[in-house]
Structures are given as structure tokens and as C-alpha cells.
Structure 1
Amino acid sequence: MMNVKKQRKHAGWRIALAAALALVLLSGCTSNKPGQEPAGAPAEAKPASAAPAPDKQIVVAVASDPALDQLDAGAYKGFMEAHAMVYDSLVEYGEKGKIMPSLAKSWDISDDGKTYTFHLRTGVVFSDKTPFNAAAVKFSFERWYKNPANASLNVAKKLRDIQVVDDATILFTFDSAYYPLLTELTFARPVRIISPSAVEPAGDPNGQFKKPVGTGAWMVDSYKKDQEGVLVRNPNYWGQAPLLSKIVLKVIPDAQSRVLALQSGAVDISGGQSGKVPLDNLAMLKADAKLSVPQTPGTSSHFLIFNYNQPLLQNVKVRQAINLAIDKRSIAAKLLGGTGAEAQGLFPLTVPYVTENNNKWYGYDAAQAKKLLQEAGYTDAAGKGIVEKDGKPLELRLVLQQTEFPEWKPIAEYVQSKLKEVGIKLNLQVLESNAYYDALWKNKEYDLIIYRTYSDAYNPHAFLMSLFHQTGDTPAVAWSDKTLETLIDEAVASTDTGQRQAKYDAWFARAREEAIYVPLYYPDDLYTVNKRVQNFKLGYTTYAPVPWNQLDVSK
């Protein structure tokens, strides 16, 4: 994973309807054997389609500087969405984790899960017409995979050797099986392929990055720090040419200013994680005849973490009571204005390996919550409305931040009121962003803390490994449980999808039995779009939230 503390934010698509559908990674696609490409996929690169009119462009609002001058495919700087526009990966992430061909048209995996052979598209060139081939792939990976900074990325940590078989074939050897390797190859960075001509000296894996040169559909045209970045169509793109000729990324840090820019027509699109629109403006934006507000279920969720070092929370009945005391349906229906859904478990059904059967949690039952507290030895002997045990009140502290998630404050206040109804006193502490992340990742100065899961390609394996698994001698961040750690280790090492599903099922079952977190709600992905923009829909990942190549504008 990359920079887990400020982890990649949220995006997604429709909820998958097949409850038992497993993520088929080892075959590359659900209906084909290794080495085969899905029916209808282009076997080789083809000439770009006829160029659209040069004046077809849109303006997209972004909250922060896109830093397009630092858009190195092997690093973590620059606008993450632009990484996926300028650079292609060997494979791409599809709906509910389906792995799709990209620069690799097919691949084979050895029986032991340690050797991956990728068969590359031929006839592909980088945007500067430098040939794309296996040597370019090896160069691109050798720039970063031995760097200790990428140790949390398993495709780097486990990669032992890269062998160029011929121009169109490359072989990767890993030291152990790890099924999400293909998933990690879909990430926005650092796994995407950069041209050997992008560094100086050219072709040197240790060379200095000079300019972004990829095989993607877009190229960086211009950039003004803290003002805007401009991407233009790559005339040498190997796939279907974008219908637009230009996309302008307009920096508008203030959320209300982004709303005004949408209303005035100064920008065409704002939303997602890069340009959030305040929830309290949605009704107004939906009423604007010039705008549409598409929303769809996402792949992340927001939940409460328990501090397992807090003695008051080490009794499972107390944790169960807290879960039962919170009406999660009301959070989605009332506090989020109908833009999300009640959390049924840690992850929504849009996440691989999450099914109707394993995604069951505690509902809302205040009476049962009070009963469990009594069974745990807590009573309101003083008649003050707060339960006590051994003369000590059941009083806890909930930590949150508002910088990134302003909706957390009213949600926390609601949780506070519901816990008070069953006799638990909850004190709220709002921290600035850096102090909040220190509390979560470093000093554990909280009793409960509100957090969110990762999204799309990082779920479920990367999130579970990050928060519910020890790192070296350091205990797990969210909840320490050896059985859970063993289950996730066995899941990620399994080369059999059925066995892997069983391990995830067992993980979710034990998590529920021990009530180790409190799922709250599943947020929707939201955008506001000028109706002159045509073909708008949402993509499958945070870093490719919109299929930009398909967008068009009306005359």
C-alpha cells in the first residue's frame, strides 16, 4: 500500500448483485483461462480513432494543487487521478475487483502462485513515440520496487526477479504466493509504466525524472501551481481516442466556491474525493436546471474503532451493547440526506469477498443493549442516567476530525445521544487533522475513534492487513486478535478462490462474534455535473473515478 495514513480515498460503482461472486484474480478474468483474453478485447494496439474537434474541453474543479510537474509514475507526488490518465498499467481494476487487460493482453500464473508471465500488446508507443515493450516495463519497475519506501506494497516486497523473455513477454518471479498481486498492479502508483525517455540519462532506472511520458490517453500540456493543470489528448494513444481534446483541472480549495463555480458554469464537474461538494448544498444543486447530481454506492464505509487497551471496552458485552444502541439506519436516512446506506458490516457489497451471508452485523435494539450492560455488571444505581460498575461510570471519549469529513461532527453527536439513552456517557473530542492521525496511528489517545475503510482495489485485503494485523512487533492498529491475523494471512496466501472466500467468511464471523468495531454507514460517491457534459458515469476506483475518455460535450 501507499502512504496508509492519508490513504487513498473513496470511489466505486454499482453494488454487485451476485452474493456469492468471488474475485477471480488467478485467471485474469472470470470466464477465461490464464493466457486468454476476454472475448471482444482488442488483441493488439490499434490506431486512434479520428480526432474530435479541438475545442471540445471541460473544466474540473479540484480542491488542491495537482502538481502535474511532479507526475512521476514511480513516485507518490502529483494528482493521483492524473497518474491513471497519463500512465497505463499492465492490468486494470474492473467492477468488484475483476482484473481486466490493459498493456498486458493476457497473463499466466504458475501453479504455486509465484511466477507471473505477462503477454504484452504490440504496436504500442509512448506519447513521445518511444516504443513500448518488455524492456520498458522492466525499466519502469526497476525504478521503484527495491526502494524501502515501497515495502508496504507486496508487489514490491515479494518481487525477486524480472526477466525479459522477448519484446512482448515479461516474467515476474515472487518469493511467495499472494493473490492480490494483480490487484496491486492496477494501482495508480508506483506500478504504472513510464517511458525510458522520461528520465535523464534516458533508460537509466536511477535516472532523474524529467517529464511525464506514458502510454495513457492523456498528456500534460501545461501547469500553473495552485491555479490549474491542463491535460490534452495523446495523439499516439493505442486505444480508443478520447472524445474530448482537453481537460482543465481548476484549483478551487474552498468547497462553497466550488458550488458557486458550478452554478455559474465556470466549472463543469466537481465531486468525488478530489473536489467534494458539501452535503448541505445538494438540494440546491439538484434543483438547478443546468446541473445533474449523479450518485452511486461506493466501496468504502465509515465506522468506529475501539481502543482494545481501554479496560472498559475489553468486555465483549459492552462492545455489543454499543453496537446495538446506535440506530445506523437513521444516520444514512437523516444525517446524510439520503446519500448513503446503513452499514450492514465493515464493508459494503461492492467489495470483493463481501457477500449477503458474511455481511451481517448488529441491528438497532436499545432494550437489548441495556440488558447486555446489566449482564456486564453495569447499573444506574445512583439514578443519574449513567450506568456504573464498582462505583465507576461507563464514560468514554470519541475522537474525530472535521477537516476531511465535516459530516463526522453531527454523526458523532448523534452517536453520543443514542449511547446516553442506554446509560453510556460519551465525550466528543474534535482534533485537527494531524493530531487526529497521530491519535489513530501513533499514540492511541482515544477510547473510540471514527474512521473509514479504504476503497476499491485496496479492499478487503489491504485494509485488513493495515488495521487488523500486527506489523513486526507492533500490535494491530484497530484491534489485536491472533485468530483474525491468521485468517487474513491464510486468505492472501491462498491460490484457491473457494478457500480464500472461506477464510474471509471466517474473518467476518469472528469479527462479529467479538464485536470489534461499530459499522456506521456506507457513503455514496457524489458528483455535480453540468448537463452539457455527455456520457458521464462513475468508474470503479478512487484513482479512475470517471471514464474520462468517454466524456463528450454538447454543441
Structure 2
Amino acid sequence: MNKPFIRQRRLISSLTLTLLVVVLVVAGCSNNGQSSNSTNAANTGNEQQQSTSAGDAAKEQALKVAISADAGLDQLDAGTYKGSMTVHAMIYDGLVEYGEKGEIKPALAESWEISEDGKVYTFHLRQGVKFSDGTPFNAEAVKFSFERWIKDPANTLNVATSLEALEVVDEHTVTMNFSKSYYPFLTELSFARPVRIISPSAVEPAGDVNGQFVSPIGTGAWMAESYKAEQEAVLVANPYYWGEKPKLTKIVLKVIPDPQSRVMALQSGDIDIAGGQLGKIPVESIPVIEGDASLSLERTPGTNSHFMIFNYDTPALQELNVRKAINLAINKASIVNDLMNGIGSEATGLFPMTVPYVTESNQTWYGFEPEEAKRLLAEAGYGEADGEGVVSKSGEPLELNLVLQQAEFPEWKPFAELIQSELQEIGIRVNLQVLEPNAYYDALWKTREYDLILYRTYDDAYNPHSFLLSLFHATGETPAVVWSDAKLEALIDQAVGTTNLEERQTAYDSIFAQMYEQAMFAAIYFPDDVLVRSQRVAGYKAGYTTFTPIFWNQLNVGEQ
């Protein structure tokens, strides 16, 4: 048994010992004066034991899930960024929960109030909740959890950097006082980590905010049973869980790093579920999966997008017509249908409709119009093409370098090759540069050594505010990463700072309109989230975040 789980199971062990003693005493008493029937009694006992074991086995509802990397249960401290984000969300609850299209729903906090100036939040906690070791959840546990991580300089969440005080009002009420008004405070409190609540008994000495993490003890629907590093992690249902009780009794997370091996494990029945951020399914395997009657392909519109950044320091890309022309030359339908086997959809802006504040009326982007693209280049002063079909201006050919990486996003190579071919058709030469991840991120964040670079937006609860602040807004003396535009930055500040929902929506409408008018990037592709399940898995419903890809509590398993 692994050390992190010792304390949580001591109670179970002592109860088992007590029951064993009782059974032995009763068995001894039963045998007095009954020697002639001892064999029959033993046989009857064995039959009953076998029957009970069979009954227990029949009741067990175990699910096997493929994960691409170790779950890290031995370091799954709620106040850190270590271990699997998905498992964080299964074991630990937050004060609030992220719902469909960003709706913030109650979790450990049943309700809350926000002051008129948007700086004071009062949370009313759910009563009668226990941690998975049976200890009580209360306001002091919230305070303990936050104090363990909130002062760490590495935490850049606004909920951390802006929190001035966290006060316990009574056993079931806490207040948070912030230095500014910022509507995504609640959104950040729904993250999988580090904002979730851990039991004070999960550290040694117990209750010490500086104590050493010992065991992952939360109020979530699941708790750790066993763990083998780089092999598997086993979670079982939390008997004290306050919400909808899981139908499953056990979830086994099996580490399978290779994508094709995950597909084969699905086909053989060694696992029941794979895909999403747990362990992606290769696009080329989709037709095989769709042709397998034992498997079901589950597709859900994702919350991120892939797009192409323009370097605003590149002279040619400072011309609006050139940026528009590049957008108009890219056949996004071909990317979806020919390269991605129909998985996903054409990008119609920076964010898909699954993201808060994105509406049909503010989703406007450029279609596929190569002839219009050629006209815009000519209007921008780019004359006749040379012998290789490249247009030029003032003797300078229109030639751009496109940077990408394949390690994390293998689909980017065919994306880039298609874009290279289509831009050549309108007279722009594109040179592809495939970099290793470290060099790629250095080019993106530090050196800016690219003309064009493929990138992706963040996921679910980080959109749209966090992504916009990270890449379209200056940070101190550092200019914006994607596109530097003072008007856009003012609109972002207005959106995140207002407590008025209508004003916020108006600001986001203006943000998306400004991006379109200035063609600040090239929209490429909206991916779907793809999971594959065995047909024996029932009750499947996709979650609303990458860290909760499935409503685990609703799943059950049976025979195929």
C-alpha cells in the first residue's frame, strides 16, 4: 500500500480487524458440541462466502480509462499544479463549478453575493459536507486551503494577486476582499487547480498551512485507492460525497503513452474510454473506430481554436490588405474535410460558439475568395508575379516564413503545407520552419523570429478573458504577443472590469469586430473534442471543460 493513502484507510483496516475477531469468536461458539456437523458447516460457510464474493463482484462497476501520462497521485496536492488536472477535478471540489458556455454554478458554495463595486465576494457554504476521510468541510477548511497556495509568487491568477483578505465569518460563510473589480474571479475559482479545497488532515502536521502533503483528501465524488507510478491509478467512489452518487464503484486510469496503442487497447477491450486531453485519438484512426461495432465515437464541439499569428513587426504584414488577402486565400473547408476527416469545423473567428460572449452576431470572418485576395494584393501595390509566381513591391518579393511545431500538434504540418500551397496560388511564397517545442515557444514568446506562426487558443474556463489578456494585451512594458492595438486593449480592460453583463457583452462585441476589421490574425480551424467509448459503457454525457471531459458520476458499465 502506498504511503499517501495510509491515513485514509486506517479506519477501514481497524474495522476489518474488529469484524475478523467477531467472526472468529462466533465461529468458535458455533462449533461447540457440533463436531459431527463440522464438515457440513464448513461446506455451507464456503458456499455462503463464495456466494457473497460473487455478489460483490456482480455489484462492482469498474471502468478502465486510458491516460497518456502518469496521474501523479502521490503529488496531487490541491494547492499545486502537479499531477493530472482531470484527477484534481475528480477528487477535489471548488467553491463554484464551470457550466455550459461559462455559466458559473454552485458547488461547495451554495450561493454568493458580490458587492456593488465588484470587490467583495461573500460565499455561503454547503452544510453537512465531509471530506473523503470523514472529517468535516467548513469555512476553516476553505481558509486553510487558500492560505496554502495563495501567497506563492508563482501564482499569477487574478484571484491570487488581487486577494487582500479572506475572512471566516462563521462556520459556513467566508468573504473574499479584492483590490479590483474583475468579473472572471468566479471563473478562476472554478479551475481544476490550485483553487480547490483540500482537507486540513491531508498534510502533516494536520492543519498546518506549511505542512507536508501526505494524501489527496477532498470532498469530490472520487478518492484514491491505489497507485503505481507510470502504470495506473485507481479511484473509488467517495462514500461521503454530497452530490449525485457515482454509479461506478471504481475507475482505473491506465497509462498508455502511444496514441496507436490506445486505439488497439480500445479494440481489444483492455480499456473502455480514451480520447480528449486524457489521451488523444489520432485523426487517421477515426475511420477504423467508426467501422468497429464494439466502439462508439463521441464528438463534442471544443472550446479552443487553431489560428495563424501575424508578426506586426514584419513590414508586409503591417498592410491591412495583405492580412486580408492571406485570410481570403485559405480554404478552411479543405482543412476540415480533407485533412481532419470531417472532425471539427471552419474557424469563423478567434473563438468557437462554445465560448462565453461569442454569439452568432459577433461571429464574422473571411471566407475563401482567392480572386479577391489577388485583387487586394494588387491594390496594396504588389505587381506582376515573377517566373516563380511570386508578387513583389518595390523590387521586394512577398516572401514569408511560417513557423510551427509537430510534437504537440502533428496536424499543423499538413495545415502548413496546405496554407503554403494556397498562398503560392495568390503570389506569396511561404517557407516552412518546423521547430522543436522549446525553440517554437522561444520564437513565440521571446525572440519573435517568425513572420507567421501557428498557435491555438486556451480551453474552456480560460476563454475569452484570459487568452485575450495573455496574447492581445500588453503586460507591463512588454507589448502584446499577437497584435498590438491600443483600442483593442482598452476594450479588453472594459470587458473584464465591468460588473454589468450588458456592458460586458457590448465590449466583447466590439473586441471581435475590431479583430475582424483589422484582420489581426488568420482564423484556421475549430477542433471537436473526440472521445471513444466501448459500447458496454452507458450514461455517457460530455462535460463542459477539458478537465471534466465526462460526467463521470453518470456512467455505468455492462456487458456488450
Give your verdict on TM over 0.5. yes
Q: Which residue of 2 aligns with 1:184?
A: 188
Q: Encode CA deviations 1:506-544: one digit per residue, 9 max, x unaligned.
A: 111111111110110100010111011111121000111
Q: Relative to structure 1, is the Cα distance of residues 77 and 384 closer, same or farther in structure 2, using a 3 angstrom cutoff? A: same
Q: Which residue of 2 aligns with 1:35?
A: none
Q: Encode CA deviations 1:240-289: one digit per residue, 9 max, x unaligned.
A: 21111111111111111111111100111100022111011111111111
1:11-22 equivalences under 5 Å are none
Count of residues paired in the alignment: 504
Does the 8 Å CA contact 2:65/2:274 hold for their aligned counterparts?
yes
1:319 partnered with 2:323: yes
Q: Which residue of 2 aligns with 1:126?
A: 131
Does the 8 Å CA contact 1:180/1:492 hold for their aligned counterparts?
yes
Give me the whole-angstrom Cα distance separating, in 2, the residues matched to 1:354 and 1:371.
31
TM-aligned CA deviation for residue 343 of structure 1: 0.7
Q: Which residue of 2 aligns with 1:228?
A: 232
Q: Encode CA deviations 1:477-511: one digit per residue, 9 max, x unaligned.
A: 11111111111011100010111111111111111
Q: 2:88 aligns with which of 78, 83, 103?
A: 83
Q: Which residue of 2 aligns with 1:116?
A: 121
Does the 8 Å CA contact 1:218/1:232 hold for their aligned counterparts?
yes
Q: Which residue of 2 aligns with 1:26?
A: none
Q: Which residue of 2 aligns with 1:303?
A: 307
TM-aligned CA deviation for residue 88 of structure 1: 0.3
1:140 partnered with 2:145: yes
1:353 partnered with 2:357: yes
AA of the residue aligned to 1:135: E
AA of the residue aligned to 2:138: N
Give me the whole-angstrom Cα distance separating, in 1, the residues matched to 2:490 and 2:58.
57
Give me the whole-angstrom Cα distance separating, in 2, the residues matched to 1:262 and 1:472.
49
Where structure 2 has 5 or more consecutive residues not aligned to the other structure, the ranges are 1-55
1:56 partnered with 2:61: yes
Give me the whole-angstrom Cα distance separating, in 1, the residues matched to 2:414 and 2:321.
26
Does the 8 Å CA contact 2:385/2:427 hold for their aligned counterparts?
no
Identity value in percent: 63
User: What SS class does the counterpart of residue 149 from structure 1 fall into?
Assistant: coil
AA of the residue aligned to 2:142: V
Q: Which residue of 1 aligns with 2:424?
A: 420
Does the 8 Å CA contact 2:402/2:450 hold for their aligned counterparts?
yes
Give me the whole-angstrom Cα distance separating, in 2, the residues matched to 1:471 and 1:208.
34
Q: Which residue of 2 aligns with 1:481?
A: 485
Q: Which residue of 1 aligns with 2:72?
A: 67
Does the 8 Å CA contact 2:198/2:217 hold for their aligned counterparts?
yes
AA of the residue aligned to 1:103: L
Greater RCO (CA < 8 Å, at least 6 residues apart)? 1
Whichever of the two has the greater Rg, that structure is: 2
1:153-232 equivalences under 5 Å are 153-232=157-236
Give me the whole-angstrom Cα distance separating, in 2, the residues matched to 1:461 and 1:264.
43
TM-aligned CA deviation for residue 53 of structure 1: 5.8
Does the 8 Å CA contact 2:332/2:347 hold for their aligned counterparts?
yes
Q: Encode CA deviations 1:297-335: one digit per residue, 9 max, x unaligned.
A: 111111001111111211111111100111112211221
AA of the residue aligned to 1:551: L
Where structure 1 has 5 or more consecutive residues not aligned to the other structure, the ranges are 1-50
TM-aligned CA deviation for residue 54 of structure 1: 4.9
AA of the residue aligned to 1:126: F
Give me the whole-angstrom Cα distance separating, in 1, the residues matched to 2:369 and 2:111.
51
TM-aligned CA deviation for residue 383 of structure 1: 3.9
AA of the residue aligned to 2:244: Q
AA of the residue aligned to 2:485: D
User: What SS class does the counterpart of residue 307 from structure 2 fall into?
Assistant: strand
Q: Relative to structure 1, is the Cα distance of residues 397 and 220 closer, same or farther in structure 2, using a 3 angstrom cutoff? A: same
Give me the whole-angstrom Cα distance separating, in 2, the residues matched to 1:382 and 1:278.
40
Task: Indicate the structure with greater helix content.
Answer: 2
Does the 8 Å CA contact 1:52/1:245 hold for their aligned counterparts?
no
Q: 2:99 aligns with which of 78, 89, 94?
A: 94
Give me the whole-angstrom Cα distance separating, in 2, the residues matched to 1:447 and 1:65.
37
User: What SS class does the counterpart of residue 170 from structure 1 fall into?
Assistant: strand
Does the 8 Å CA contact 1:177/1:494 hold for their aligned counterparts?
yes
TM-score of the aligned structures, taking structure 2 as reference length: 0.89
Q: Relative to structure 1, is the Cα distance of residues 438 and 508 closer, same or farther in structure 2, using a 3 angstrom cutoff? A: same
Q: Relative to structure 1, is the Cα distance of residues 207 and 98 closer, same or farther in structure 2, using a 3 angstrom cutoff? A: same
1:342 partnered with 2:346: yes
User: What SS class does the counterpart of residue 499 from structure 1 fall into?
Assistant: helix
